[in-house]
Structure 1
């Protein structure tokens, strides 16, 4: 997961923590380096002072076998003089336990180390001597170096080259390393505690500072929860005025959200006014058209007794006028019913409707009208009753059943079944619902219109020529009317369709 996908508050806290961690690590490293430099400077100063006294001969004698002159020894040779000088270094005041010296006059190095409780220094191992002699002197004196001596740990050493003799002096560095290790752990702990405490404090501060932005987001979420798809839009929600003052980031966002809501509200109001005007126009036009259509049908009916005496062309024309008037009357009635449903002015009754007998009647009628379809019915032995108006329930079932027969090819099997909620259909149903399923094995509804089959004027094949008679062409209003009537009866309607067929399910409240 990328950082951009995290919440803004989380991102700010994480970034602040990383910055604090980097700053703390930098401060801790600088502190450790400062302490190390100070401790190493003290150690180097101590080593310089002791080697200076040893080489100048100002220090006291080292013990048995030594004299006050670093160049003279009991044996009288140069090697013994070098060893005496080394002993002078080891036994001078201030030299602590573990100080060592190595002398190499060309015939093999000798090394001594001072240890507490011993009267004389102890000889170093050959491995330790070789490690110390690897320190390269420069001129008469080399820079101080840190060397790990096998068997003795880390040492701070300095090497001198006098004639043919190389002398290496060293003091133990273990105390300094221990102090640096403690300093490192202490610094790391303090930095970590500081980062955690500061990050927690910043989390609280950031949480408080983002409170205004959360209020703006809450307003946006409340707007998205509003039902704005139907009815008169109510978009009165706005970001509070104190959070919509331009000049700050939150103020700019709040002001932009309010301007957007103003535009959306205006657009919804305009859409609602247009929809209301269209609904009123459809209702008024449908109402006004009913009278002239009834007049046309009436005059056409008056000619029926005389049609046998008229020429064939006139008889055919009158039949077309009669058929067209009937179709126009049906379409006008559908439009008027839709307008009333959308306006909420269509009344309904709370009667008890016997769904079983209603389905038997409608399936029998469908057999007569659609003899080329195999229509089957499956209802339980007990009566199924729903609450609603009988004519509205009849019309809803008739619309769906007629669509299943009209829009499928001959030979299609259409199955009608009704079930109580205790025998669920298409998932869990409420306990007070009767489900009516009408399915077919036709070619299915085209995928491009499956999501809007309940909209007005939606037809599977807009170019299909309208037919006359009982199986006339579709106007695209039937399923819209069915959905409106089912909703009016506090029920539900759903559709599922594949290339293997289509299934509609009506859910009506049980009586």
Structure 2
């Protein structure tokens, strides 16, 4: 049996707890802060209003107490009891009075809600005397009457206690706090709705970014032919806002990724085509070498078996063997040339294989046209150069390879009788070599990839219509290694290859 893994309850709860969204956190933070502010304000307002009402009650109590008529009119000034004092005065409802006279004893009464005077019971009087004795302005609870703010007073030999009920003050404070609470709750609800709408609208671009990123993440980017059409909507990618800049940045990133994927796909297709083309080009000479090798071996075996027979058969066998070896040599040379071309491209890509020196393009053009005239007598060849030499810094043999390749291209891909002109000039500090012909032009379908490796107009790859398809790619690599450019402009009746190289003054001592 396998041991069960026990996960603590707290850890399970943490794993199952769903994290808060950004909108929920923002709403909780804003509403929480505002709620704290409102509660703090309510407490402060309640305390302030309660203190003000308490001071007003105290002042009213003291003013009313000073106006009490404790003595009867006349020379004797007899002390009046509490209910008599309250009956002859104009006291507010709830007013309480206790009078303690050394001759008449203690009396206490209160004005009820109907403004009638009601004596206090002995227990209420005793409790009031006990709770308020020896204290100044204070709050006491009178059984059956509630809380009172009381103050002691003294007039001659008479002492007493006067008080006003706190019920009205407490009711006012409760009403204020209730109003504040209701306003706070309503305000928080309104604030919650407003904040939710504002945050939801403000975070809409961020949600669009997240949705777009999620859709892009679901794409099979590892597959070959993948295009990323997903983008953040334009209205959610306004770079004038912070979140909008995130959407705009994601769109830019997706553009770059899409471009990279397209380039990767194109490179993979080129690599597959390169491998297929290289395999095709190498397969023919290898098959020839194998066939002629087998033929040679068969001839040698037959020669051994026919020893002593007719001399003519032996000579025929030797002749066949010699021809087979010649074909093997020819195919080996062809395969060697292809491998050397591939090796040259690899070295040029690494920035190697060039031996720099002073190269006279004028002389190079003369030699190249002379060679092309001998190789293609059925074409009309022309040369346009100035008397002054045009000198560049470069590898003479490689630049000769470029010019020879351009002329051979014009010879192979144009019909007999085509006029081919090579010119050398200096324009704006650059040496310009052009090869122009009036042939049928280049097929627009292949013009864009003309300088790619193994690019050929004849997809059947027949040997009579051209070479391996590496010539123009090698020419481009050589020119770019010399910090130059090679371009083509073709239309029916005129095709011009232009090579531009940095020119340098001719050496007078050369």
Could you state the TM-score of these two structures normalised by the residue count of structure 1?
0.46
The TM-score with structure 2 as length reference comes to 0.46
